[in-house]
Structure 1
Amino acid sequence: MTDSLIAKYNVAGPRYTSYPPVPFWNTTAFGLQAWKQRLTTAFATTNHLTGISLYVHLPFCESLCTFCGCNKRITKNHSVEKPYIDALLEEWEAYCVWLPERPRIAELHFGGGTPSFFAPDQLRRLLTGLFRWADPTDNPDFGWEGHPNNTTREHLQTLYAFGFRRVSFGVQDYDPVVQQAIHRHQPFAHVAQVTRWAREIGYTSISHDLVFGLPFQQLTSITDTVAQTLLLRPDRIAFYSYAHVPWIKGTGQRGFADSDLPTADQKRALYEAGRSLLEAGGYTEIGMDHFALPHDSLNKARETGQLHRNFMGYTTTQTQVLIGLGVSAISDVGTAFMQNEKDISTYQQRVFSNQLPIMRGHLLSEDDSLIRRLILDIMCRFQTSWAVEDWTDAEWDRLTQQLDGFVADGLIDYDETALWVRPEGRPFVRNICMVFDRYLSNQPSVSAKPLFSSTV
């Protein structure tokens, strides 16, 4: 890959966990009644067929990792666990009492923050409460995120007993210099131990999260980290690009200087080195930033065209309804998005006042739904298609002008009704999606602060 291509395409752009991206949501047209109506309609058509997805945000961490862009609260005070879980169960009950029938949960994910911050008995209480109002489908997909430093065997066993078969552990990088910079002190022995426990208990998909582009990261940091990861041979590997957005995430990402970060060219070289080692180790690249062994369900979903992407990342389960519980959690019902309050105290106060803790949302138009499908196709299958009448003459002229640039760079092929991403174009899949983003194309080209992280 040439440095000139990296320089050309290294611009700020969305990760497209949703379309439209959250900064472009039309919040003024969104309201509680419209949200309830769209949720109820989607639920009524999908619950008895596929079931629904449920995401639970558990935001607490004992220490701050300076690379992290998640919504979290740093505390060592574990008395916060009980009231927060009380709020989660109140919120879930509020949904269930007005949904037209008992929910069937096909997909459940605990994210954070640090879910393993919570004691096993509190997680057991949470799950018991969730399933008081719902039932799992016949073959559910339940997963959670654990910190290798505080995940115990009891954590793993507790969630396994409720049907969890996937677990992901945040590794990031084993280089002690990088760990010092990101405030994530975590030895290989801890990761090896929790990985071994998970296998012994019976988890069928174990994932390790790695990050490239971190401060002080060198080529040896990546090659050594991937080599140690291959020794443990997790079923999946998320190999994420570090998103440096200190103007959004505040003091955490101000813990090091911009000059401490790899340049765009260096960052891409880190990824290429990691990808080569992972592919040589038997892993297949899945969508954007993910790898899986041949037997893993993520790889099988890629092969069968069933791979999906939502606010939880890549998933093998396609449900029309995703309900997000907890502070800042986002729900998706196909025709609408909704995000909860982002402040924990405000979230809990509203829930305990018998209110849905809605902060903002967006009702998708027919145009939104079209572009969303195109972007999901590109993100999940590296190809998409459309009808000629989907574009005005002016739009098609704009599209072809931009797409011709990708063709000239050897990144895509396209015709009047379809587009295919070449293997050489996969590192620039976000840039390719941006061509179709009608909100982005209508934004001023210069802004005081970028809305998104760099695409490379």
Structure 2
Amino acid sequence: MEPSLTAKYNVAAPRYTSYPTMPYWDTGAFTKEEWIKTVNSSFYESNAQEGISIYIHLPFCENLCTYCGCNTRITKNHRVEEPYIKALLLEWAMYKNIFGGKPLIREIHLGGGTPTFFSAANLKALISAILLHTEVHLDASFSFEAHPANTTVDHLQVLYDLGFRRLSLGIQDFDPKVQFIINRQQSIDQVRTVTGQARHIGYTSINYDLIYGLPLQTLAGLATTLQEVAALKPDRIAFYSYAHVPWLKPGQRRFTEDDLPDAKLKTKLYDVGRALLKHYGYLEVGMDHFALPGDELLLAEQAGNLHRNFMGYTHQHTQLLVGLGVSSISDSRYAFAQNVKSVEEYLELVKNGELPVFKGHLLTNDDIIIRRHIQQIMCKGQTSWNHHTEPCEALLDGIERLQPLADDGLIELNSWGLKVTPTGKNFLRNICMALDARLWANKPATQLFSMAI
């Protein structure tokens, strides 16, 4: 990347898995009653054609990965599994009552935490019960995240038998020094074994998560990691920036800023990693994602069907996304809602028959317009507007803020829309920021987001 552009645009920026971003939700106008209405409306509008997506948050981990920004609960007590599954199924029953009809399941994703903390038998019980009295879409896509060090053949086989075909392994970096300081240790042999077992069983898409900007990370170490990864040929790779937010995640205080690559080195890590991935045959998809030719995510981008939601990029779109479990986020198109973040509070609320939502946001007409443009930029690298059919003062203000980015060669800007340039592809978050009306109306006094690069 051009050093002068990197210096200018390496600012704290949202990742734009939603708009508005969570710090700018208008929580005061949100009520559970309104949320339920929007879920019911969205279900009736979209279920028959698109189906719905389900995200299930399984928060438990045996060890704390100190780089992690997810909502987790650290424990070695596996007796927590069954009560949590019981609560998940009670919450799902509440949503099925809200739907008032048989859900058509298009997507299921198990995230965490560590989904493979749960036994294969318990995961089978959970998913079997979720699918009871539902229909599964002909183009359904079921996926789960896994830790290479604790994923067994039983995990892989049980979930495959239930329709799962996508597996995402958290690798981050193979350098022993980096693995030690982030407390995330798995060997190349473990990753090779799980990958081979999954392919033998019949999984059709395997993703590896890799992170640049980790403490003690070096160019040589990253190059070695990518060489090892390329030899295993995962179908997809998520190569994303480490988000250093110790004020939100105290576990990151195991190391200090002195252990992190400085801005110059972090940029080199990104540039070298991106170049090596392309050298090994991977093509860039959206932001931070790479895929081999023929992968569905890449094909979706090429066909103009790439979509982005709270789970990241996906090759298909559903209007209604239901998040189950502690801290999960749901999207009805008209509103967002997040569940409580404490396991104990979640269990208690669900036990008492209460939907465990604790905050949310009802989207305004302006929100919906700006969200569409941010989605288009993140997924298609371009967007167009018509001030007559979608009058929006906030959008006009955002278009004015885009001019300096056009002057710097990040976008081609004209009266009807914009197109991201090859240089601008490295700065998608910054381009979206220019249109982020809620951020500009209330610029934060303290840092809320990780750095853009």
TM range (shorter): over 0.9
Helix, strand or coil at the partner of 2:16:
coil
Q: Superposition pairs for residues 24-423 of structure 1, below 5 Å?
A: 24-249=24-249, 251-389=250-388, 390=390, 396=396, 399-400=399-400, 402-423=401-422
Distance 2:81 2:101 in 1: 30
Q: Deviations over 1:246-297 (max 9, x none)?
A: 1111x21111001111112211211111111111111110001000111110
User: Which of 446, 451, 455 is the aligned partner of 2:452?
Assistant: 455
Structure 2: which amino acid aligns with 1:295? G
The answer as to whether partners of 1:309 and 1:315 remain within 8 angstroms in 2 is: yes
Distance 2:368 2:443 in 1: 23
Distance 1:408 1:21 in 2: 27
Helix, strand or coil at the partner of 1:23:
helix
Distance 1:213 1:169 in 2: 19
Distance 2:98 2:413 in 1: 47
Identity %: 51
Structure 2 vs 1, CA of residues 136 and 397 (structure 1 numbering), >3 Å: closer, same or farther? Answer: closer
Distance 2:425 2:253 in 1: 30
Q: Deviations over 1:67-98 (max 9, x none)?
A: 10000001000000000000000100111123
Match of 2:14 in 1: 14
Aligned residue pairs total: 452
Distance 2:132 2:365 in 1: 37
The answer as to whether partners of 2:12 and 2:447 remain within 8 angstroms in 1 is: yes
Structure 2: which amino acid aligns with 1:309? R
The answer as to whether partners of 1:60 and 1:72 remain within 8 angstroms in 2 is: yes
Structure 2 vs 1, CA of residues 393 and 356 (structure 1 numbering), >3 Å: closer, same or farther? Answer: closer
Distance 2:26 2:439 in 1: 14
Give the Å deviation of 1:137: 1.0
Helix, strand or coil at the partner of 1:149:
coil
Distance 1:399 1:305 in 2: 23
Structure 2 vs 1, CA of residues 334 and 392 (structure 1 numbering), >3 Å: closer, same or farther? Answer: closer
Give the Å deviation of 1:352: 0.4
Q: Which runs of 5+ in 2 are unaligned?
A: none
Structure 1: which amino acid aligns with 2:298? N
* Range 3-12 or range 154-163, more displaced: 3-12
Q: TM-score scaled by structure 1?
A: 0.97
The answer as to whether partners of 1:96 and 1:133 remain within 8 angstroms in 2 is: no
Helix, strand or coil at the partner of 2:247:
helix
Give the Å deviation of 1:391: 6.2
Structure 2 vs 1, CA of residues 305 and 408 (structure 1 numbering), >3 Å: closer, same or farther? Answer: same
Q: Deviations over 1:309-357 (max 9, x none)?
A: 0011100120010000000000101110000011100001000000000
Give the Å deviation of 1:135: 2.1
Distance 1:413 1:164 in 2: 41
Give the Å deviation of 1:45: 1.3
Q: Which runs of 5+ in 1 are unaligned?
A: none
Structure 2: which amino acid aligns with 1:241? S
Tell me how large the CA RMSD over aligned residues is: 1.3
Structure 2 vs 1, CA of residues 392 and 41 (structure 1 numbering), >3 Å: closer, same or farther? Answer: closer
The answer as to whether partners of 2:179 and 2:185 remain within 8 angstroms in 1 is: yes
Distance 2:104 2:296 in 1: 21
Distance 2:31 2:302 in 1: 39
Distance 1:98 1:217 in 2: 48
Structure 2 vs 1, CA of residues 232 and 393 (structure 1 numbering), >3 Å: closer, same or farther? Answer: closer
The answer as to whether partners of 1:215 and 1:262 remain within 8 angstroms in 2 is: yes
Distance 2:387 2:127 in 1: 48
* Range 132-141 or range 325-334, more displaced: 132-141
Structure 1: which amino acid aligns with 2:120? P
The answer as to whether partners of 2:36 and 2:98 remain within 8 angstroms in 1 is: no
Distance 1:121 1:399 in 2: 53
Helix, strand or coil at the partner of 2:379:
helix
Helix, strand or coil at the partner of 1:247:
coil
Distance 1:82 1:133 in 2: 21
Q: Deviations over 1:382-403 (max 9, x none)?
A: 1111113456789646633x32
